């Protein structure tokens, strides 16, 4: 059964700094999703990575997928306070069942 | 509609009562999913539908939980004889197609509290 692990679980970073969130998964997952969740809010889709080597960027966030290493990364460039949120990665089990990681809670401070 | 909607947004019930949670997916979306999210955790899959057909219910915790989508649009998740451990945020998501590459769009959730 697919298991998804993220690290770190908590990340406190200063504005302007760069950092990477890691998402490891245990078995084959053809696709990898990243979601953002603000406190008390629903999940907002950030990226869908469909194939090995896929890289997608939106603003200060860049996601990549290495299916051979079973690893996805979410890189944050020059963090700003508005990026403070919890970030989840999710892999696909059979039949479109998303399996989520435990989330990375990001706090960006001045 | 503009997005996935769920009702009620909050539900407080006494142990032993039945509850019905409703999900209205984005118009035209074929697939509908139910997840449960505990505080501080990622969502956990419960069940999903393509059109009106329930494809996978392996995530339903026990037979007190059931779901239906009779006309391929609105779905209802029913919990019978609720227990305190059922307290959680229940989220619905929908996606456009069957291909499996589609993004799942999540609703605001129903927070269930069983006293």
3-state secondary structure of A95: helix
Any A CB within 8 A of B110 CB? no
Query: Confidence class of residue B99 from pLDDT cuts 50, 70 and 90?
Result: low
Residue range A23-70, pLDDT digits in tens: 999 987 778 999 999 998 999 999 999 888 889 999 999 999 998 999
Q: Do A42 and B40 touch (CB under 8 A)?
A: no
Distance CA B60, CA B45 (A): 8
Q: Do B103 and A100 touch (CB under 8 A)?
A: no
> How much is the pLDDT for A99?
92
Residue range B63-83, pLDDT digits in tens: 999 999 999 999 999 999 999
From A43, A93, A96, residue closest to B106, measured CB to CB: A43
Query: Confidence class of residue B101 from pLDDT cuts 50, 70 and 90?
Result: low
- Using a 10 angstrom Cβ sphere, with 0-12 exposed, 13-18 middle and 19 or more buried, the burial of residue A2 is middle
Average pLDDT, integer, range A6-13: 95
């Amino acid at each position: 059964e697919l298991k998804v692990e993220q690290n770190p679980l908590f990340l406190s970073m200063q504005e302007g700094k760069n950092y990477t969130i890691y998402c490891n998964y245990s078995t084959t997952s053809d696709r990898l999703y990243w979601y953002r969740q603000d406190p008390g809010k629903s999940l907002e889709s950030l990226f869908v990575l469909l194939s090995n080597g896929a890289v997608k960027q939106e603003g200060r966030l860049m996601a990549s997928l290495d299916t051979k290493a079973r690893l996805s990364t979410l890189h944050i460039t020059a963090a700003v306070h508005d990026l403070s949120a919890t970030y989840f990665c999710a892999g696909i089990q059979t039949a479109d069942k998303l399996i989520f990681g435990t989330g990375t809670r990001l706090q960006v401070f001045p | 509609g503009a997005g996935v909607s769920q009702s009620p947004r909050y539900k407080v019930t006494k142990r032993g009562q039945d509850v019905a949670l409703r999900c209205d997916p984005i118009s035209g979306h074929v697939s509908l999913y139910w997840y449960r999210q505990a505080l501080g955790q990622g969502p956990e899959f419960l069940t999903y539908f393509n059109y009106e057909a329930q494809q996978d219910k392996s995530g339903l915790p026990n037979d007190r939980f059931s779901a239906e989508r009779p006309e391929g649009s609105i779905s209802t998740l029913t919990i019978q004889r609720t227990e305190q451990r059922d307290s959680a945020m229940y989220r619905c998501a929908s996606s456009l197609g069957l291909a499996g590459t589609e993004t799942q769009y999540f609703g605001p959730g129903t927070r269930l509290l069983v006293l």
